[in-house]
Amino acid sequence: MWVLKEHMRKLHKTFLLFILACSTLAYAENTSGGSLLQDLGARGAGLAGAGTSLSGDVTFLKYNPAAIASMQAAQLSVFYYNGGELGTNFGSLVYGQKLGPGVFALSLSYLDGGMMDLNFSGGGTQNVSSQQDIIGSLSYAMTVSKNIDIGLSAKGFTSTLMGTLSGQAICADAGVQVKNVLVENLNLGAAILNLGTGIKYLNTAELLPTNISGGVSYSLAVEKMVFLAAVDGIAGLNDNKNYMIVGTEVNYESYAIRAGLPLFSVLDTLFSAGIGYKMDEYSFDYSVTFGKTLAPAHRISVSMLFGMVKEVAAKETPIQDKGPSEYKNIAPKAPAPEKKPGLLKKEIKK
C-alpha cells in the first residue's frame, strides 16, 4: 500500500511539472515576422538600433514613427542588407515629405531568405526558397507642441515559407518624442512597435515580435565636431527578449563614424560599427554587424534630400525652390537717389 502511495505521489509530482512546463511554453510563445525588426538604414544599424529618441532621418521611423516629424525636406532612402553565410538579402525603399501640418512617409521592404533543399518522405529533393517577406507601411507624424512630436505607422506584412506556406498580418507602430528636456539637445523617445494580429501558417498561429522601447539621446557640438550618444531599452512583449542598446556617433564636417553595442541581449549581435559621408544633398552610409556565432553582416544605404533649405545671410529671405540648387532670394537694394545738376550750387547761394 505504501509503495502504491509513493508511486502516486511521484506521478502527481510529474504531472504538476508537466503542467508547469506547458504553462511556461505557452507564455513564451513562438513569434514570427522577424523581418519586421530589420533596420531600414545603415546609419541606424551602425548604432545597433539605438534610435528611439533620434529624429530627422526618414529611416528612423523603424524605431519610432515620431522621428520623421522634424524633417524639413523630402527624403528618399535606398537600403540593402546582406546576411552573409545565412544567405539572407533584405532591401527597402523609404520616402517621406511634408504633408499638411505634419510629415508623411511610405516604405516598402523585401526579404529573401535564400534557397534550401526540401527532402520528401517518399524520396526526392526540391530546391525551394526558404522565406520571402514583403512589408509595406504608411506613416504620419507631426509636432503637437513646441518640443513634443508624435507619430503613427500602419503596416501590412506577408510571408511565404518554402514556396508554399503563406501568411499575412496587419500591425501598427506608435511613438512620441520629447525634445530639449531640462537642457538643450537632451531628447527622450518612447514607442510600441509591431502591435497587431498574429500570422498563421496552415494551422499554426504565431505572434508578431511586439516591442516596447524607450530611449534617451544627447548631442554636443565642439567646433567642427558633433558628438552623439543614445541609449535604448527594449522589452519584448511576446518573446520575453529584454535588452539595452548603447550607440554613439561622431561627426566631423561631412564625415561620420558610429558604433553600437547591445547589452544583456540574447540576440546574435555582438557589436556594430559604421561610417557615413555627406555630399551636398546626398548621404552614403555603411555598417557592419559582428555576430556572436554568425559571420559579419553588411549594410549600405544611400539617401537624398529634395528641396533642402540652406542657410542664407541675415538680410536674405530664404525660399523653398524646386530642384537641388541653392535657395537664394536676395532683396534688391534700393536705388541711390538721383543727383540733379546744379543743386549744390543753389544751396551754396542760399
Tell me, what's the pLDDT at 308? 59
Q: Report which of 219, 206, 283 is spatially closest to residue 43, judged by C-alpha positions.
A: 283
Does a structural domain hold residue 87?
A: yes
Low-confidence ranges of the chain (pLDDT < 50): 1-29, 309-334, 343-350
Beta strands in the chain (DSSP E): 74-82, 89-99, 102-112, 115-119, 125-129, 131-145, 148-161, 165-178, 186-196, 199-201, 204-206, 211-222, 225-236, 242-252, 255-263, 269-279, 282-291, 297-306
CATH number at residue 102: 2.40.160.60
Q: Report which of 190, 192, 195 is spatially closest to residue 176, judged by C-alpha positions.
A: 190
Does a structural domain hold residue 323?
A: no
Does a structural domain hold residue 161?
A: yes
Tell me the per-residue pLDDT of 117-144, one tens digit each, with 9 for 90 and over: 666 666 677 677 788 999 999 999 999 9
Does a structural domain hold residue 341?
A: no
Tell me, what's the pLDDT at 110? 95
* Contact between 197 and 158 (Cβ < 8 Å): no
Does a structural domain hold residue 334?
A: no
- Rounded CA-CA distance 107/302 in Å is 15
Does a structural domain hold residue 319?
A: no
Give the number of domains in the chain. 1
Answer yes or no: pTM beyond 0.95: no
Does a structural domain hold residue 26?
A: no
Tell me, what's the pLDDT at 142? 97
CA dihedral 47, 51, 56, 57 (to 10 degrees): 60
Tell me the per-residue pLDDT of 5-31, one tens digit each, with 9 for 90 and over: 443 344 333 333 333 333 333 333 456
Tell me, what's the pLDDT at 166? 86
Q: Which domain holds residue 261?
A: 31-306
Does a structural domain hold residue 118?
A: yes
